[in-house]
Amino acid sequence: MGNNHLSKPAKGVALIIGAGDATGGEIAKRFARGGYTACMTRRNVDKLQPLIAEIQAQGGTAFGFGSDARKEEQVIELIEHIESNIGPIEVMVFNIGANVPCSILEETARKYFKIWEMACFSAFLTGREVAKRMVSRESGTIIFTGATAGVRGAAGFAAFAGAKHALRALAQSMARELGPRNIHVAHVVVDGAIDTDFIKDTFPDLYAKKAQDGILNPVHIAENYWHLSQQPRDAWTHELDLRPWMERW
């Protein structure tokens, strides 16, 4: 596990599990602009360096960690390190995907299990460890990034749909248990293509819809996550759907 040590600001920590180049990175930047310490994870910490530098250049505070959210001991170590050396985790965003299509006729047990590990089991581990700290303070926000696959399963996505359904159920159970303890748990259904290099390179026809606001802008996704974290507790959102105006559903 590696990190970039910076001075501690007065506000608490926003922990982004899975801070990739698009959605996760924009969420980290948004919370840093809002005054939080942005703590971000990827399995390869070196890939976080450009994001850390960008947050620093904007006047924010950032820490990067190389951590595998599927490994219980690494998750426990990560949360303990942040809480002991950086600050209290006030917001946790779980943003690990695992969208790997495969026919049920060709799906292997190994791949099915790995997708579940990434999309659900790692959410359980992180959510549990963060919740322990938040409950002791009777305050906090936990947001899980979901997908349409968590609401209905599509042909060729049995493993991903199963994992995302399980993630949605985890979020619901946590919300019901932790809500009365002043912990806001939310699940965001991201329904549609996101403006990423992968979509641009792999699906150019789909990416062309960007000119018409037909694919999701990671900056706008991040703004919705920020809004969830700032909601007054007499009007919390549990599940939020995000999709472009022209997306069929």
pLDDT in tens, 75-109: 999 999 999 999 999 999 999 988 888 999 999 99
According to the model, what pLDDT value does residue 202 have? 87
C-alpha neighbours within 13 Å on the C-beta side of residue 74: 14
Question: Is there a contact between 88 and 40 (Cβ–Cβ < 8 Å)?
Answer: no
According to the model, what pLDDT value does residue 97 have? 85
Give the confidence band of 11 by pLDDT, cuts at 50, 70, 90: confident
Q: Tokens in use for 96?
A: 């690990």
Q: Tokens in use for 25?
A: 């990175």
Which has more confidence, 240 or 153?
Answer: 240
According to the model, what pLDDT value does residue 10 have? 54
pTM: 0.92
Give the confidence band of 249 by pLDDT, cuts at 50, 70, 90: confident
According to the model, what pLDDT value does residue 88 have? 98
According to the model, what pLDDT value does residue 237 have? 99
Residues 177-202: what's their mean pLDDT?
A: 94
According to the model, what pLDDT value does residue 248 have? 87
Residues 119-138: what's their mean pLDDT?
A: 98
Q: What is the pLDDT of residues 201-247, one digit of tens each?
A: 888 988 999 989 999 999 999 999 999 999 999 999 999 999 999 89
Residues sharing a CB contact under 8 Å with residue 180, sequence separation 6 or more, in sequence order: none
* CA atoms 96, 242, 178, 39: torsion sign: positive
What is the spatial distance between Cα 38 and Cα 32, in angstroms, rounded to a whole number? 5
Q: What is the pLDDT of residues 42-73, one digit of tens each?
A: 999 999 999 999 999 999 999 999 999 999 99
Domains of the chain, start order:
13-242 (3.40.50.720)
Question: Is there a contact between 189 and 241 (Cβ–Cβ < 8 Å)?
Answer: yes
- 186 pLDDT exceeds 50? yes
| Mean pLDDT of all residues belonging to the chain | 93
According to the model, what pLDDT value does residue 1 have? 53
What is the spatial distance between Cα 3 and Cα 63, in angstroms, rounded to a whole number? 6
According to the model, what pLDDT value does residue 193 have? 87
- 5 pLDDT exceeds 90? no
- 3-state SS of the chain is CCCCCCCCCCCCEEEEECCCCCHHHHHHHHHHHCCCEEEEEECCHHHHHHHHHHHHHCCCEEEEEECCCCCHHHHHHHHHHHHHHCCCEEEEEECCCCCCCECCCCCCHHHHHHHHHHHHHHHHHHHHHHHHHHHHHCCEEEEEEEEHHHCCCCCCEHHHHHHHHHHHHHHHHHHHHHHHHCEEEEEEEECCCECCHHHHHHCHHHHHHHHHCCCECHHHHHHHHHHHHCCCCCCCCCEEEECCCCCCC
Residue 152 Ramachandran class (φ > 0 left, ψ -120 to 50 alpha, else beta) = beta
User: Cα 31 from chain centroid?
Assistant: 13
- 187 pLDDT exceeds 60? yes
Give the confidence band of 35 by pLDDT, cuts at 50, 70, 90: very high
